[in-house]
Amino acid sequence: MFSHIRTIWLTFLHLFHKKVTIEYPDEKVKLHPRWRGRIVLTKDPDGGERCVGCYLCAAACPVDCIALQATEDENGRRYPEFFRINFSRCIFCGFCEEACPTYAIQLIPDFEMAEYKRQNLVFEKEDLLINSEGKYPGYNFYKVAGMNAGVKEKGKGEEEEEPVDVFSLLP
Amino acid sequence: MTIYIDNKPYEAKAGKNLLEACLAAGINLPYFCWHPSLGSVGACRQCAVKVFKDEKDTQGRLVMSCMEGVRDGVRIGVEEATAKAFREQVIEWMMTNHPHDCPVCDEGGSCHLQDMTVMTGHDYRRYHYKKRTYKNQYLGPLINHEMNRCIQCYRCVRYYHDYAGGDDLNVFAAHNHVYFGRDKDGVLQSPFSGNLAEVCPTGVFTDKTLKEHYTRKWDLTMAPSVCTHCSVGCNITAGERYGKLRCVVNRYNEEVNGYFLCDRGRFGYEFVNSENRVTQPLIRGRMSEAVSEEELMHELSVLLSQQKLVGIGSARASLESNFALRQLVGAGNFYAGISETEAYLTRLIVQVMQEGTLHSASLKDIEQADAVIVLGEDVWNTAPMMALAVRQAAMKTAANNAAAQLSLPAWHDAAIKELVQTDKGFLANITVAGSPIDNIAQVTVHAVPDDIARLGFAVAHELSNTLPALANADEKLLQTARQIAAALQQSKHPVIVSGLSCVNSAVIRAAFDIAAALNNTHWKASVAYVLPECNSMGLALMQAPSAERIFDSSNANDMTALILENDLYRYLPQATADAFFSRCSNVIALDSIHNNTTEKAQVLIPAATFAEADGSMVNYEGRTQHYYKVFIPKEGHIKESFHWLNSMRIAKNNRSNGHGLSLDELLHEAEIEMPVFEGVHDAMLSPHYSIHGEHIPREPHRYSGRTAMYANLNVSEQKPLQEEGESAFGFTMEGFKGQPPADAAPFFWSPGWNSGQSVTKYQQEPGGAFKGHIPAVQLFHDKVDKAPVFFKDIPEAFVARKQKWLVLPQYHVLASGELSSYTKALASLLPEACVVLSETDAALLGVRDGDKIRVHPGTTALPVKVHLSLANGVVLISAGLPGTEVYNWGDWVKIEKE
Amino acid sequence: MQHVWIVLGVLFVLLNVAAGLIWVERRMLAMWQDRLGPNRAGPLGLLIVLADTLKLFFKEDWIPSFADKKIFVIAPAIVVASVLMSFVVIPFAPGIVVADLNIGVLFFLAMSSLGVYSIVLGGWASNNKYSLLGAMRGASQMIAYEVFMGLSLMGVVMMTGSFRLTDIVEAQRSVWFCFTQPLGLILFFIAGIAETHRLPFDIPESESELIAGFHSEYSGMKFGMFFIGEYLGVTLISAMTVTMFFGGWMGPEFLPGWAWFFIKTFAFILFFILLRASLPRPRYDQLMESGWKVLLPLVLVNILVTGAVLLYLKG
């Protein structure tokens, strides 16, 4: 019984506490770097598309709002032929960013993307791609992958030995 | 016998190894180098378990479970800490050099290495040194090579070299840098190379055609399907995304294709996505030729009311479509869209098989045969998977003989190979122009069809004295016959393979006589007749006369012809086909691809391919198999032929109730109409089939992009395409979440097993029958007690004629079916069409390799290829390749130098 | 004529107060949760009332196809009507009372208990299992708490010797009954919360378990009626508490009587809101158990003691 009264009293005292409400949009919100807002596709330090079209973001997406199709350039470098995010379905959970093995897909601190038409919330690759490395500067997937996709030759990557000489046994 | 795994008793079969026993018991034990079809070599050290002496033994010893046989009461520990640590360590070693490629690797998501890594628990790289790298090779347009990913399990070489008999893929170098590839860049020569993509536990060998439109396994809409490229009817799983067929992978069927497919079947799917597809109903000669369905049906109801309506059935259309056409035009007006010769020969085969005095051999029967006679059939080119089965028969017989000598277990691959060396089981390959399986045959004969038949009859005579002997036979032939007969007499389950490729009825009769003579003493021999197309047998069973017979009917003018999924120009000589069309006042064609026949059609109706349709097909052995719709094409006009034909039937009969027949109603009608098809509906999962009220989903539970795939067109998601009560399968990921019935599984997947190797979870034992296996629907029934009626008319020996040659087709392994050549990758591998002549004949004509000659009545000149062992008086002409002409095969032709 | 003005005046004030409470409650709840609450529409966000009302009017007034239509429509009207009827006997200030009945207390009790019909009928007519459960809870809660609500007022009635509310107010000229009847006050207030099914005793509509209970299926202005009914109920119980225990319009002379009455009533309304902001909902069985096993005996003891003391004082 006493605890009830104490609860009522403590709640009453909150009348005089400082309010936490931020009066958006009069007052802008301070967004932290890891805020999960609008999704972007970043580029690697060489300016190439980071996305390799591995479909992991699409598979991780709990609302299945990411669809893409992988394709290859003449060097065998994978990139998305199209990359579509239906933001009218997105719940900004950030699973896609976590799933991305190449740091390509990133959630940035921007949430002001309301639209009057739902159709305008369907973002294509051109809308998503930004000319920046985002939160993870310096990373270039093809430098650490084993494949030669026109970025580095076999054996020239980080932590790679020169290619094996298959004829080493010959006299 | 009972074995104890982690102190729990399990039943195990004798003669298996511990790994197989564990997998059969449903225990997750990682492995790489072992494969149910390839046996054990103990190369990867991944399947380590502890074996204990007895209950009191707590120490145990580590063994490779694939190298240790099952013993009664053996106690093993899979979850034993040391064994687990060992397995994790082995993976960790493999991972020291495995590249950081998964995101760009086509194997990812269906990768055995990924599955096994997760299974052992290895998750963090502790090795901080450099990775080994390799240079890749160009292996042709079908297979991609990425050698860095290799984990040195040797499966590729063991499959390609040992199992499939290819000699251009091998292992090079030594110790920690062994290399699997060719001696230099180049196209893989074996027509079974596609299986490397499935055999390789990781992404060294991957499907290059899939790369063109890469999709992960979890994103595919899949359905159980059946290959349509030859009469074997291998089971396949086809996958679709964004309205395009993406890939075809093997669907295990113990009795048919086992774990493998040929390249024609695996890569020949691309015609479904062809630019050349018929997508819209067309009425030619109108202002706008593309018409709506109402206009089409209006036009059709006018055309169908014509008096002289004939229907041309197809050997590559489903049973349902052929039957629907037969019902529409009436049984008397239904013709098979094949040549008279082919119709005659298939009728002969049907007659022979329906007698029931011979067992119809499945591929499994062939694989397990201890003596095989290939009589006149070019199996390598007309039924590649059967050629592979014939090879296995030769290899396995030798292996079994060797294993019996030293009582080695059958799975002990390396030991058996060591003992066998180059021994082979008995195989007699009797062909017109030789075949790649000649090199494993004890007896190879290259002869003209009549002489092949004579050899066959001679063998039959050797086996049974009651059969007539050859008149004026030469001693060499008789000697060969005696050799073959001796081998057959010793064998326990011989198989005689024959077929249509030498276009000779005597060969078919001789094959029957050999098998029937073998059964005189006891029922042991079986026979396999290869047919040209996937549903040739189904069409033949309908007993329709050939299209050439239309000319026989008195009033064969001003006909209205309905042509079902058939390019008549592929089956009939051009002149005959032209004559046929000149007598038609109206031609209505249903087809999926534009071809010479559809060009002639006034009304062209878009038909669905196997991937967009449900249907049943009867393979060479009389096995009825059903394939299910993988997806509904975006072009809404494409429908199954039987669907169109049913609508036409309603329009024609003015039945106004408006609803057509469903698939099972149609099959039911067929069974009543033609008792020979009794039971065909059992081959299909009933459209009303459900598990706990839920249908089977065609999509894996992790199918992605549902709300974004078509969001560019409309942000509101469309209703899933669901045919009410039309199929046991649903087009979404919703539905029954457990394991579907294995015989009709849209895809193989099991928790922790994402790769195709998950099929083990659907089998009673690795490489065995499916759990809950439903027996196949076999339309030919063995009648053991019935006495065979032998054929006794032996042809005369072949004599070459002057200035005339016997013309025979020369098929190509990648293009003997009509549709596979529409695939870009396969088309690039096709050779140039040519005319094959013997050395003497070429000299006679004064031509050399590469010179162009014209074979009458053909119109195009083709280059000559001189064949060293071809008999004189025969000319082989490439058949089935794009741009080749059709002859009256088995006829006599003239040759003209260009 | 003056009567008509009083009736209209009371009606006007009450309906406005009830509407205004939308804003008050949301704002106060926000304050107690360290938020600001509605502050955008109009000065201090006051126009939220207008916005909310407009919204209610324009919402689709949906009647479920499976509902018992007539009863479904009548139910929300009953709650508003019964509460408004109770206000008939409340003296807002000397002379400002619609009907100064000599059985005022009984009339109030009778009218307020009629309110339960709206819950039962609404829940029943919705033809929905959650609604029906809510209705059943409402009915049993009402029976349990109605009993000692009446009894808790008996102490006051005994001390005044009259059921007439103006008499009761007059009797508090020297000392408010909250001092002489503290137990009665507490019990009456608890019963009042239960009667208006406000938090923490909103068992019939508990969102988390019954998804709004008896008014699950209501939308638009029918829902609005329940909404208004609830605020009127809050106002009624506050007004009754003031009348019975806090001297009604009594107060220092510098403000007129009606002003004191409103100030006091408003304080109790705020207390209602504070309770909502602070206390969690008890379990249904706990509520019933405390009603029958604790509060009822207590109220009987209160009457006994009051009676004894009164007898003792009389001599």
- For residue B487, what is the DSSP state? H
C-alpha to C-alpha distance for B173 and B894, rounded to whole angstroms = 55
Instruction: Give the neighbours of chain A: at least 3 Cβ pairs within 8 Å.
Output: B, C
pLDDT < 50 stretches in chain C: none
Residues in chain B within 8 Å Cβ distance of A124: 712
Cβ distance B331 to B311 under 8 Å?
no
Q: How far apart are CA B453 and CA B347, in angstroms?
A: 18
Cα B599–B288–B603 angle (5° rounding)? 35
Q: Which amino acid is at B62?
A: L
Chain-chain contact of C274 with A8 (C-beta, under 8 angstroms):
yes
Give the tokens for residue A121.
């919330």
- Measure A82 CA to nearest chain B CA, in Å: 10
- Let me know: does C113 contact C40? Beta carbons within 8 Å: no
Chain A residues touching residue C275 (CB < 8 angstroms): 8
On chain C, the residues whose CB falls within 8 A of the CB of A10 are: 278
H helices of B431-586, in order, are: 449-463, 475-490, 505-518, 536-541, 568-571, 574-582
Contacts of B37 (CB under 8 A, 6+ apart): B159, B163, B258, B259, B260, B767
Q: In which element (H, E) is residue B526 found?
A: strand B526-530
Asked whether residue B393 falls in the same domain as residue B305, the answer is no
What is the tally of structural domains in chain B?
Answer: 5
pLDDT value at A94 more than 60: yes
Residue of chain B minimizing CA distance to A146: B99
Q: Give the chain C residue whose CA is nearest to the CA of A23.
A: C36
**By three-state DSSP, how is residue B891 classified?**
coil
Number of Cβ within 10 Å of residue B222's Cβ equals 28
Q: Within this chain, do residues B471 and B565 fall inside the same structural domain, yes or no?
A: no
d(CA A92, nearest CA chain B) in Å: 15
CB contact under 8 A, C274 and A20: no
A-chain CB neighbours of B213 within 8 Å are: 69, 71
Show the domain range for B7.
2-79
- Distance CA(A167)–CA(A156), nearest Å, equals 20
pLDDT for the residue numbered B724: 61
Query: Does an interface of 3+ CB pairs under 8 Å exist between A and C?
Result: yes
Residue where a domain terminates, one of B273, B288, B319: B273
Same domain? For B42 and B147 the reply is no
Long-range contacts of B9-13 (CB under 8 A, 24+ apart): B12/B70, B13/B70, B13/B765
C34 and A8 within 8 Å at the Cβ level: the answer is: no
Spatial distance between the Cα atoms of A54 and A102, rounded to a whole number of angstroms: 9
CB-closest option in B104, B130, B716 to A161: B130
The CA dihedral of C175, C180, C182, C183, to the nearest 10 degrees, is -150
Q: Which of residues 173-212 of B touch A (CB under 8 A)?
A: 173-174, 177, 179, 181, 211
Residue A140 has pLDDT above 80, yes or no: yes
Contacts of A171 (CB under 8 A, 6+ apart): none
**Residues B265, B148 share a domain:** yes
E-assigned strand segments in B189-243: 205-207, 221-226, 235-241
Asked if residue B653 and residue B571 are part of one domain, the reply reads yes
Domain spans of chain A? 24-144
Closest-CA distance, C96 to chain A, in angstroms, reads: 33
Q: Please name the member of C35, C275, C278 whose beta carbon is closest to the beta carbon of A19.
A: C35
Predicted pLDDT at B298: 84
Tokens coding C276: 């909502």
Tokens of B508: 């078919």
Tell me the chain B residues in contact with residue A140 when contact means C-beta distances shorter than 8 Å: none
Tell me which residues of chain A, numbers 6 to 35, contact chain C at a CB-CB cutoff of 8 Å: 7-8, 10-12, 14-15, 17-21, 23
3 state DSSP class of B347: helix
Q: What Å distances lie between residue B855 and B548, B573, C82, CA to CA? A: 22, 13, 107
Residue of A nearest to B204 (CA): A147
Q: In angstroms, rounded to a whole number, what is the distance separating the alpha carbons of residues B744 and C12? A: 74
Residue C88 near residue C98 (C-beta atoms within 8 A):
yes
For residue A34, the model assigns a pLDDT of 87
Is residue B639 in a domain? yes
Q: Which residue of B has its CA nearest to A70?
A: B214
Residues in B touching A145 (Cβ below 8 Å): 99-101, 103-104
In this complex, is the C-beta atom of A2 within 8 Å of any C-beta atom belonging to chain C?
no
- Reported as half-sphere exposure (CB side, CA atoms, 13 A), residue B300 has a value of 29
Contact list in C for residue A14 (CB cut-off 8 A) is 31-34
| Residue B445 near residue B416 (C-beta atoms within 8 A) | no
CA-closest candidate to residue B338, choices B565, B596, B641, B506: B565
In this complex, the residue of A11, A18, A21 whose CB is nearest that of residue C32 is A11
- Cα–Cα distance, B55 to B782 (Å, whole number): 51
Separation in Å, CA of A36 to nearest CA in chain C? 24
For strands B895-897 and B852-855, give the pairing.
Answer: antiparallel
Can you list the alpha helix ranges (DSSP code H) found in chain C? 2-32, 48-58, 69-86, 104-126, 129-160, 165-170, 177-180, 182-195, 207-210, 220-245, 257-278, 284-289, 296-314
Q: What is the pLDDT of residue C46?
A: 83
Whether residue B60 lies inside any domain: the answer is yes
Are B715 and A122 within 8 A, CB to CB? yes
Q: Which of B176, B185, B707 to mutate to test the interface with A (most CBs of A within 10 A)?
A: B707
Query: pLDDT at position C130, please?
Result: 87
- Work out the minimum CA distance from A60 to partner chain B, whole angstroms: 8
Show residues of chain A in contact with C32, CB under 8 Å.
Answer: 11-12, 14-15
Q: How far, in Å, CA of B277 to CA of B606, rounded?
A: 8
Contact A54 B108 (CB under 8 A): yes
Tell me the residues of C at the A interface, defined by beta carbons under 8 Å apart: 30-36, 274-275, 277-279
Chain A residues within an 8 Å CB radius of C30: 21
CATH for the stretch A24-144: 3.30.70.3270
Q: Is the pLDDT of residue A114 over 60?
A: yes
**C249 burial class (0-12, 13-18, 19+ CB within 10 angstroms)?**
buried
Kindly report the backbone phi and psi dihedral angles of residue A144, in degrees, each rounded to the nearest multiple of 5, phi listed first: -105, -10
B401 plus B469 within the same structural domain: yes
Q: What is the pLDDT of residue B655?
A: 60
pLDDT average per 10 residues of sequence, chain B (898 residues): 92 91 93 92 92 89 92 92 93 92 92 94 90 92 93 92 92 89 92 94 93 93 93 94 93 93 92 89 84 84 81 91 90 90 92 90 92 92 93 91 87 89 91 90 92 92 88 87 91 92 91 89 86 92 88 75 89 88 89 89 91 92 93 86 87 63 83 90 87 90 92 86 75 89 92 93 92 88 86 88 90 81 85 90 88 85 90 89 85 85
Q: C-alpha distances in angstroms, B669 versus B326, B562, B674, C128?
A: 12, 21, 8, 49
Contact B192, B389 (CB under 8 A): no
CB contact under 8 A, A164 and B179: yes
Residue of C58, C18, C302, C315 whose CA lies nearest to C185:
C302
Q: Is the pLDDT of residue A116 over 90?
A: yes
Are B372 and B234 within one domain? no
